[in-house]
Structure 1
Amino acid sequence: MMKAITHTQFGEPENVLFVGEHPVPQPAANEVRIKTILAPIHNHDIWTVRGRYGYQPSFPAIGGSEAVGIIDAIGEDVHHLQIGQRVSVASVHGTWAEYFIAPARMVIAIPDNIPDELAAQLIAMPLSSLMLLEFLNLQSGEWLIQNAASGAVGKTVAMLAQKRGIHNISLVRRDDAITELKALGIQHIVSTTQHDWKEQVKAIVGQHSITAAVDSIGGTASTDLVQLLGENSTLVSFGTMKGEPMQIPSGDLIFKQIVLKGFWGSKVSQNMSIENKKRLVSELLHDAADQTLQLPVEGIFNFQEIKQAIAASLKSAKAGKVLLVA
């Protein structure tokens, strides 16, 4: 038997999650079993527990969708991986457990020079961030603006965009977040708590036009982004932190010829060729190894501390991801 963070109903994670015992899973053909080292708590993991995400598990369910660990069993027809290999994987289920199963084709071998804390969160959000940049088709020298930029995705998008020569403006909702992002080498950070923040954005851009915006908040925050976008630009909805519909001024949408799109990493990933995925993963591994990509950690909690871990993950001001240690 193994220990795993479990829920038998949907609800607020602090109320429905508990440490339960489950049979150790066995890999089928083309699968591997991974002994978990560290697993992150993502926002989509929390929404899944609430029953309000695109994927809904059957009960009893084990939480988690990404982890770094050691392969300890291999199913039939797996030839490119071996027992004892340290790997990362995302877009799977049940990683908040001592062991979990993953399709062999989705597992990525991790070089020794990438630490566990980085490897545990290397795939889901960073790969989504790279796919988002490709989805926007942004070229070197163009301008991107994003809100909620002090979150994991916002920081990652900014770092990866800069590496590609894309100018990024990061909108944050607290002044002290400016220092946090600057410590990661991120440029062009503006706090929306300051009354003249839109003028600051315009001063940064100068005579240039903002080509694309990423909205992770919704509500009136969508209005702000639309007002700052240039002509023939793109607004992408990445999330809805406020839980409110996007408020889009029809005048700006019409006269600027703005294109509005929704982005869901899982769907984009499904439609992406294997060659493109390999190219993006290779870019991630390179950026992680040379420390271009930095993924801070808020804290590491054991399974018995799941309530404290959830509380830490839900904090509005945190340094980085919350990780669970098996």
Structure 2
Amino acid sequence: MKAIVFDEIGSPRDVLYLDDIPVPQVSDGEALVRMVSASVNPGDFLFIQNLYPEPKKPHFPRQTAGNHGAGIVEAVGANVMLEPGTLVAFSYYNSWAEYSVVPAEWLIPLPAGYPIERAGQLVNPITAWDLLADSRVQPGQWLAVTAGYSSISTMVMQFAQRRGINVIAIVRRRHQSLDLKELGAAAVLDLSDLKTGIRDAVIEITGSAGLSGVIDHVGGPVSGELIRTLALGGQMVINGGMSAERFELHNFDVLLSSVEIRANIYRYFFSPPVEADRPVLREIIDIFGQPGFHVPVGGIHPLAEFKLAVTNSLDRADLGKQMFRM
């Protein structure tokens, strides 16, 4: 079968290649999934660079890349209740390939006919849902989201709009190809066209209310400014680090406003779904699958076009999510 693999730690631009490898064999408790789609995510690049903690580490030679995707159950091992033919999504390993073997407990069944380009990126709406919950922002309050054109940020905006939460989308530069206000942003803060400081701009937009929460995918000095703009009891939720720069704070920036800075770790990073998760997963899957929920897909590629998919993901987030279709 075809798979995108790598033999050493490094930049995804440099170490990935397409190869023929054997179809994996199913053991007890596992399912063989014929992949139909897989998303390209920043976390996939962290895995390739060996930046994730144990146990999410690559194993050589020919480690298959990709951690999230969807496919059809082809065969199952002993003690697996899923029926062959079931469409499933998962966050595990080895998704950038024509077939993957996944422990059944990690598989999330989807309705037949669920949109394939959405099934392959279920990690994103789950993450967006949890980020919004972690921010603790209430209806009528203000939330800032950095990397406003990223897939997860656009999903946060849409979930927030459904709950009556006001969102300021922070972008490095506004693009005409995607109107974030149509996706639920109450305001867009273009850093390339900023006439005042970030704090002053936010205070003006919010009518002096300030921010009750920040969801940050970037880091750097902008993050420090946003923290200092949080209202009393506000939350900063860190979900990424796209910038190589750092931010600085004084203890009083946190203490005097009683703000909280916390990390978001994807809920299925270390452990698989449990039965108690089923109701919220059904709700997320239902909303995410609706035609009115906008999901910018920037490119659907065969595995052979992995270089283009990786480059677009790294350099052109404004295009939308890059996907593989097998």
Same fold (TM over 0.5): yes
| Secondary structure of residue in 2 paired with 1:44 | helix
Please give the residue correspondences for 1:213-228 in structure 2 after superposition, counting only pairs within 5 Å. Answer: 213-228=214-229
Q: Distance in 1 between matches of 2:285 and 2:89?
A: 11
Q: Which residue of 1 aligns with 2:22?
A: 23
Cα pair 1:215 1:222 within 8 Å, conserved = yes
| Secondary structure of residue in 2 paired with 1:231 | strand
TM-score, length basis structure 1? 0.90
Q: Distance in 2 between matches of 1:274 and 1:268?
A: 17
Unmatched segments (≥5 aa) in structure 1: none
Shift of 1:273: 6.2
Q: Distance in 2 between matches of 1:7 and 1:295?
A: 29
CA-based RMSD: 2.3
Q: Which residue of 2 aligns with 1:48?
A: 47
Q: 1:141 to 1:253 in 2, by over 3 A?
A: same
Q: Distance in 2 between matches of 1:88 and 1:250?
A: 43
Q: Distance in 1 between matches of 2:289 and 2:309?
A: 28
Q: Distance in 2 between matches of 1:300 and 1:272?
A: 28
Shift of 1:39: 0.8
The one-character-per-residue Cα deviations of 1:30-82 (angstroms, maximum 9, x if unpaired) are 22111011111111111211222332211120001111211111111122x21
Q: Distance in 2 between matches of 1:218 and 1:44?
A: 16
Q: Distance in 1 between matches of 2:211 and 2:183?
A: 23
Residue 303 (structure 2) pairs with residue 303 (structure 1)? yes
Q: Which residue of 1 aligns with 2:161?
A: 162
Unmatched segments (≥5 aa) in structure 2: none
Q: 1:312 to 1:280 in 2, by over 3 A?
A: same
Cα pair 1:159 1:292 within 8 Å, conserved = no
Cα pair 2:142 2:212 within 8 Å, conserved = yes
Shift of 1:98: 0.7
Shift of 1:164: 2.4
Shift of 1:130: 1.2
Cα pair 2:157 2:183 within 8 Å, conserved = no
Q: Which residue of 2 aligns with 1:14?
A: 13
Q: Which residue of 2 aligns with 1:73?
A: 75
Please give the residue correspondences for 1:1-326 in structure 2 after superposition, counting only pairs within 5 Å. Answer: 2-54=1-53, 55-60=56-61, 61-79=63-81, 81-90=82-91, 92-112=92-112, 114-121=114-121, 123-176=122-175, 179-196=178-195, 198=198, 199-266=200-267, 270=271, 274-275=275-276, 277-326=277-326
Q: Which amino acid aligns with 1:218?
A: G
The one-character-per-residue Cα deviations of 1:256-290 (angstroms, maximum 9, x if unpaired) are 12112122214787498642x22321121221233
Q: Distance in 1 between matches of 2:298 and 2:147?
A: 17
Q: Which amino acid aligns with 1:70?
A: I
Q: Distance in 2 between matches of 1:72 and 1:221?
A: 48
Cα pair 1:4 1:19 within 8 Å, conserved = yes
Deviation larger for 230-239 or 286-295: 286-295
Q: 1:114 to 1:239 in 2, by over 3 A?
A: same
Q: Which amino acid aligns with 1:206?
A: G
| Secondary structure of residue in 2 paired with 1:212 | strand
Q: 1:62 to 1:283 in 2, by over 3 A?
A: same
Cα pair 1:234 1:259 within 8 Å, conserved = yes
Shift of 1:228: 1.6
Alignment length (residue pairs): 321
Q: 1:224 to 1:50 in 2, by over 3 A?
A: same
**Identity score, percent:** 28
Q: Which amino acid aligns with 2:109?
A: A
Q: 1:249 to 1:274 in 2, by over 3 A?
A: farther
| Secondary structure of residue in 2 paired with 1:318 | helix
The one-character-per-residue Cα deviations of 1:205-250 (angstroms, maximum 9, x if unpaired) are 2253421112222220122201221112111221111123332243
Shift of 1:306: 1.6
Shift of 1:318: 2.9
Shift of 1:105: 2.4
Q: 1:271 to 1:19 in 2, by over 3 A?
A: closer
Q: Distance in 2 between matches of 1:97 and 1:272?
A: 23
Cα pair 2:151 2:320 within 8 Å, conserved = yes
The one-character-per-residue Cα deviations of 1:173-227 (angstroms, maximum 9, x if unpaired) are 1122684323434432221222236344323322534211122222201222012
Shift of 1:112: 4.1
Q: Which amino acid aligns with 1:136?
A: S
Q: Distance in 2 between matches of 1:268 and 1:63?
A: 16
Cα pair 1:160 1:293 within 8 Å, conserved = no
Q: 1:66 to 1:178 in 2, by over 3 A?
A: same
Cα pair 1:114 1:288 within 8 Å, conserved = no
